[in-house]
Amino acid sequence: MFNFFKKQNRRAWEPDRLPAHIAIIMDGNGRWAKKRARPRTAGHVAGAETFRRVATYCKNIGIEYLTVYAFSTENWNRPPGEIEAIMGLLEKYLYESIEKMERDRVKMKFLGDISILSKKLQELIAETEEISKKFDGVQVNICLNYGSRAEILRAVNNIAKSVYMNRDSKASNEYPAEITGKAFSKQLYTADIPDPDLIIRPSGEKRVSNFLLWQSAYSEYYFTDTLWPDFNEQELDKAIIEYQKRDRRYGGI
């Protein structure tokens, strides 16, 4: 399968210079539905299918990590019916994924505060992540009830609590007087996950929307007017081609 995709795209992007980690802000479901005079929930259904297709394509071409922004901490402000539909889609997707994980061998990890989700969703997430431990290969990270500012505050509070709890222990040197970036990163949801090389934002919006603020310090951004439900393999190819044109200097010359 990989050889097929490699051959198919050899004139488009260089297979030896693929981004190891792609992150996507899945935006535009509501506008996609509105353009078609359909309810917003129809856009989320179409967007879920796009996610499934793009994740499969990333696996087939050799992407190591795919992180998607599925539901933000701010999305709770949406109408209750829309939130219920999104959670229902997630539950359906997880049931299907668990059935197919042995075949597809895709690792899944959830980033965000899942403690306020339904008990059923929490159980499905735990089961999915437990099964994932057996697999190597592509890892799909789903940001759910995620907000980068909340993530950073959580990391700061974790460090502060650890320092406070060990303030009288001379043996504890987990957090020295000066906190390093490495120590801080270990307290993020993305601990042990490399920073994204490429962040894609469909739908024409040009903002980061509280997504991976710490992790994206040197990521390359790609914006497209294509709404997320219309995003496909060819659109991802365009983003990869643009990424490979960039000169990543990480602050150097």
**CATH number (domain holding residue 80):** 3.40.1180.10
Q: How many domains does the chain have?
A: 1
Mean pLDDT, all residues of the chain: 91
pLDDT at 4: 47
Instruction: Kindly list the distances between the CA atom of residue 124 and the CA atoms of 53, 90, 95, 116, 138, in Å, as whole numbers in the listed order.
Output: 21, 10, 7, 14, 20
Structural domain containing residue 28: 2-148+194-243
Residue 106 lies in a domain: yes
Residue 185 lies in a domain: no
Using one digit for the tens of pLDDT, what is the confidence trace for 88-107? 999 999 999 998 888 888 89
Residue 239 lies in a domain: yes
The total of other beta-carbon atoms located within 10 Å of residue 127's CB is 15
Question: Which parts of the chain register pLDDT below 70?
Answer: 1-11, 166-177
Using one digit for the tens of pLDDT, what is the confidence trace for 173-201? 555 567 889 999 999 999 999 999 999 99
Give the active site residues: 27, 75
Cβ burial 7-34 (10 Å sphere, 16+ → b, else e): eebeeebebeebbebbbbbbbbbbbbbe
